Amino acid sequence: MNTDDERFMRAALFDRFGPPDVLYEGRVPAPVTAADEILVRVGATTVNGGEVIVRSGGLPPWFMRAPFPRQTGLDFVGEVVDVGAAVTGYSPGDRVWGLLDEKPDARGQPLRSLAEYVAVRPDQVSPAPETLSVPEAATLPVGGLTALVALRRKARLRPGERVLVRGAAGGVGSAAVQVAKALGAGEVIGLASGPTTGFVGELGADRVLDYRSTVPREIGTVDVVIDTVGTDLGAYRRLLEPGGRMVAVRFDTARPVRALGGIAMSGVHGTSRIRFFRGRPERALLDELARMADAGDLRPVVGAAYELADVAQAHRRFESGGVRGKVVVTVG
């Protein structure tokens, strides 16, 4: 990037915590490619729950110390436009997808992807699925990677086991239903809102229940619970068979200390420990997700699509609930 115009890029920004309306399209310095990085022109990204929580100011103050203006965006699909001198295996023109970690920039800002460009390490990306469009591919890195880690590494799902997915119509839940089936689950039970139960069944769930009219004890016992909702974890933990595993990919941000304390204490009061984790970018997992998508085992679900200039609308749609799959924001 050499010209004055190219030293800046469009990005989604917010100058204070608050509702979706605090978001706007602005301009920030474009990243400069380090020797061990590649520069990606972002084609699309998605709205994720963690970004909404941060934007709204929903975390304790010690989590919110980065200066304003702040950016948003975690995942991305795009095209390589520059390659650092120490990087091999990528060339300009390659289509890649990936996730960002929490590495801060020179201003102390965590790197974010809802912008025209992002500079990342090669281990944070992999070739994007060949069979998917850019918006379709954008729906899978966060949800797919979270589901894969939750089921394989955290729950250690075994073939034939029964799996319950809470929030089965959302970005992570819809991926978890499909990944559980691909990994050999004997039965996948989805909990979703009434209007989305048919959709969850189409994804491969063997049984779909409306969470609004289902009492947890009516579900029966299961071997694994994947929880994308974060509330009332104890009631669903009690459904576990001896040796069962519950993986929470979200906690109750209205009462974060209580929620995290309950997760920590679950291992003290029984063997059915609640596991909580945050995803990290990893090339091998992204490669596997691409193979699953190209093989038809992992279906992308674009619930709604917006452009960068309409980022506030995208967040508003996400927060309104009832989204099937992911809210996508295109950048190119």
DSSP for 89-152 reads S--TT-EEEEE--S-B-TTSPBP--SBSEEEE-GGGEEEPPTTS-HHHHHTSHHHHHHHHIIII
CB 64 within 8 A of CB 57: yes
pLDDT at 2 exceeding the cut of 50: no
- The pTM assigned to this predicted structure is 0.88
pLDDT at 55 exceeding the cut of 90: yes
Residue 281 pLDDT class (50, 70, 90 cuts): confident
Average pLDDT over residues 99-112: 67
pLDDT confidence of residue 275 = 55
pLDDT confidence of residue 250 = 72
* Average pLDDT value over all residues in the chain: 88
| Percent of the residues in the chain that have a pLDDT greater than 70, as a whole number | 85
pLDDT at 110 exceeding the cut of 80: no
pLDDT confidence of residue 251 = 55
pLDDT at 319 exceeding the cut of 70: yes
pLDDT confidence of residue 82 = 97
Backbone angles phi and psi of 252, in degrees to 5: -70, 100
Dig out the tokens for 309 from the structure.
């200039």
pLDDT at 3 exceeding the cut of 60: no
Among residues 49, 39, 104, 48, the alpha carbon closest in space to that of 78 is found at 39
pLDDT confidence of residue 62 = 64
Q: Give the HSE-up count for residue 18: Cα atoms under 13 Å, Cβ half-sphere.
A: 11
Residue 262 pLDDT class (50, 70, 90 cuts): very low
Query: Distance of CA 181 to CAs 140, 144, 145, Å?
Result: 16, 13, 15
Q: Which residue has the higher pLDDT, 275 or 237?
A: 237
CB 224 within 8 A of CB 200: no
Average pLDDT over residues 246-256: 67
DSSP class of 68: S
N-term to C-term CA, the chain: 17
Q: Which helix (H) or strand (E) covers residue 223, if one does? A: strand 222-227
pLDDT confidence of residue 63 = 64
For the chain, the helix, strand and coil percentages under 3-state DSSP, each to the nearest 5: 30, 30, 40
Nearest-10 crossing angle of helices 141-148, 171-182: 50
Q: Which of 24-28, 191-195, 256-260 has the lowest mean pLDDT?
A: 256-260
